[in-house]
């Protein structure tokens, strides 16, 4: 029996894993899908002070207070930053890191530092924010590759602004990023007819060619845990 901690990406909440969680639980595993401070059902706690360190501490506290060890720590998109920081600070509790179409930072980098085309590289996220600290969800026309109108509206109804300092604060490793922990990268290749989500190609290629990584691909839009939850769960179970 494994313990999975599923960490959602930007603008989302723990709610986005609700189609994956039953498959993992049906296989006998324990699953946690916490919501990061200031997002989802915790959006009432949003403030300018929330940063990447806040979200790393959110997940560290889950591991500590739930007394979790041998954790498979899964991060989607933005939360590649979060799980990297958690693993560095509590490597004894984490047995594997899974990056689901996620950013993979190096020491001293913020998410803004590693944005690549088509979404970034030179984009000033702070300038795009509201009131200087809240970043609105930018993909209203095609929410992260979801083609079902009903699902798209369901997601848009739950999306909340992202505290911009979570994307601007650099990550700093104190244990070298815990390189001994096995890592898996799941790259989501856009279905035919949709624009390619090339933002994560850079990280996928690095994971595919560097030692210490296991590499997989799925054909899906970026929110694969909602679009093809059975396939995502099957890879996690593997």
Residues labelled as active-site residues: 77
Q: Are 102 and 9 in contact (CB under 8 A)?
A: yes
- 40 Cβ neighbours under 8 A, 6+ residues apart: 8, 12, 13, 14, 15, 158, 160
Cis peptide before 35 (omega within 30 of 0): no
CB 172 within 8 A of CB 108: yes
Q: Are 13 and 4 in contact (CB under 8 A)?
A: no
Q: E strands, 11-164, where? A: 30-32, 71-76, 94-100, 134-135, 162-163
With left for phi above 0 and alpha for psi between -120 and 50, is residue 169 left, alpha or beta? beta
Are 159 and 12 in contact, with CB atoms under 8 Å apart?
yes
Handedness of CA 147, 152, 155, 156 (dihedral sign): positive
Q: What tokens were used for 128?
A: 């795009």
Contact indicator for 197, 116 with CB cutoff of 8 Å: no
């Amino acid at each position: 029996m494994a313990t999975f901690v599923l960490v959602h990406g930007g603008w989302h909440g723990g709610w986005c894993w609700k189609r994956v969680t039953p498959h993992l639980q049906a296989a006998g595993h324990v699953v946690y899908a916490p919501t990061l401070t200031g997002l989802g059902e915790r959006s009432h706690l949003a403030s300018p002070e929330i940063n990447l360190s806040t979200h790393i501490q959110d997940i560290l506290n889950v591991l500590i207070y739930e007394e979790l060890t041998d954790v498979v720590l899964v991060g989607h998109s933005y939360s590649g930053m979060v799980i990297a920081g958690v693993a560095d600070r509590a490597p004894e509790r984490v047995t594997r890191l899974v990056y689901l179409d996620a950013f993979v930072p190096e020491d001293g980098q913020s998410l803004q530092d590693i944005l690549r085309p088509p979404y970034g590289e030179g984009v000033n996220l702070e300038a795009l924010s509201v009131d200087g600290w809240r970043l609105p969800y930018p993909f209203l026309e095609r929410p992260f590759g979801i083609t079902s109108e009903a699902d798209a509206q369901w997601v848009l109804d739950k999306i909340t602004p992202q505290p911009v300092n979570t994307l601007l604060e650099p990550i700093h490793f104190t244990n070298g990023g815990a390189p001994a922990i096995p890592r898996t990268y799941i790259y989501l290749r856009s279905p035919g007819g949709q624009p390619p989500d090339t933002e994560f190609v850079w990280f996928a290629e690095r994971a595919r060619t560097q030692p210490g990584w296991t590499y997989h691909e799925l054909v899906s839009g970026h929110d694969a845990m909602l679009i093809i939850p059975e396939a995502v769960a099957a890879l996690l179970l593997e």
